[in-house]
Amino acid sequence: MTGDVPEESPEESPEESPEKSPEDAPEETPENSPPEFPEDTPEQVISRELTDGETLLWSGRPNRAAYSGSNPFRAIFGRIVLVIGAVMIYLALDAMSVNPRSPGVFALMFGIIFSIFGGGLAGKTFWHWWSAPTTYYGVTDRRALIVRTRTWLNVRYFPNNKIEFVAAEPFGSAGLGNVLFATEPFGRLRALRAAVGFWGIENPGDAESALQTLKDTFA
């Protein structure tokens, strides 16, 4: 007696999922797209420094070449002092090598001081060139501001009673200009003066008008 052998049903093969084409990928939306970090504008940077009730009249940023070349007299003076200090150090070391008891140690001390002081003034050129992209200018109804955000935040402000004058001068051939409005002392005895202003800015006439408005508020 033979039994009925059940028929084997063919094994069901798993369905192959169709490959997804690049067109089927979900589109990036503002919710899932990578965040963007736009560079701060001068208006945004200066606005963060305003006090209650203060109104921004103008904002801008310097041209790197104009800013690094600002106050050339100060840079030249610093280089001269640096060279004098280096010569004093060389002569002092030479004298001390011949006679260790030579009073050249005093010349060495002064040479080091001169070199540090002169190097600081001469180094302003490089410092301004390096920090120009993160330097911002602003004029409000209360003060003029110079803000630097690299390497640390540095804010300098000049209220209306510190605006000594307003003078504009062209820079280059691209319509840029320098607008100067004050002076500051420099040097060991603080007897020399350097100009303070907005260097190599676009639309210098707007900055000049805003500074003049600020200056006129001081009676």
- Give the domain CATH number at 174: 2.30.29.30
Q: Is 115 in the same domain as 152? A: no
Q: Is 87 in the same domain as 133? A: no
- 160-201 confidence digits (pLDDT tens): 999 999 999 999 878 999 999 999 887 655 667 888 999 999
Q: Check whether 40 has a pLDDT greater than 70.
A: yes
Tokens, residue 176 = 């840029």
Query: Of 86, 106, 124, at which residue does a domain stop?
Result: 124
Q: Is 63 in the same domain as 133? A: yes
Report CA-CA distances (Å) from 3 to 6, 7, 10: 9, 12, 21
- 89-112 confidence digits (pLDDT tens): 888 888 888 887 777 788 888 888
Q: Is 58 left (phi over 0), alpha (psi -120 to 50) or beta?
A: beta
Residue with the bigger pLDDT between 16 and 83: it is 83
In a domain, 60, yes or no: yes
pLDDT for residue 66: 92
Q: Is 167 in the same domain as 199? A: yes
Q: Check whether 36 has a pLDDT greater than 50.
A: no
Please, which pLDDT band fits residue 120 given cuts at 50, 70 and 90? confident
How many domains does the structure of the chain reveal?
A: 2
In a domain, 158, yes or no: yes
First-to-last alpha carbon distance for the chain, in angstroms, is 126
Average pLDDT over residues 137-157: 94
Q: Is 142 in the same domain as 198? A: yes
pLDDT for residue 4: 53
Residue with tokens 């690094």: 68
Domain with 114 in it:
76-124
Q: Is 107 in the same domain as 163? A: no
Q: Check whether 27 has a pLDDT greater than 80.
A: no
Give the type of residue at 192. L
pLDDT for residue 190: 62
In a domain, 65, yes or no: yes
Query: Of 59, 91, 124, at which residue does a domain stop?
Result: 124
In a domain, 61, yes or no: yes
Average pLDDT over residues 122-138: 89
Helices (H) and strands (E) in the chain, counts: 6, 7
Q: Is 96 in the same domain as 62? A: no
Q: Check whether 31 has a pLDDT greater than 70.
A: no
Please, which pLDDT band fits residue 124 given cuts at 50, 70 and 90? confident
Q: Is 139 in the same domain as 92? A: no
In a domain, 22, yes or no: no
Q: Is 189 in the same domain as 91? A: no
Q: Is 105 in the same domain as 190? A: no
Q: Is 171 in the same domain as 212? A: yes
In a domain, 109, yes or no: yes
Q: Check whether 208 has a pLDDT greater than 80.
A: yes
In a domain, 118, yes or no: yes
Q: Is 198 in the same domain as 208? A: yes
Q: Check whether 30 has a pLDDT greater than 50.
A: no
Q: Check whether 23 has a pLDDT greater than 60.
A: no
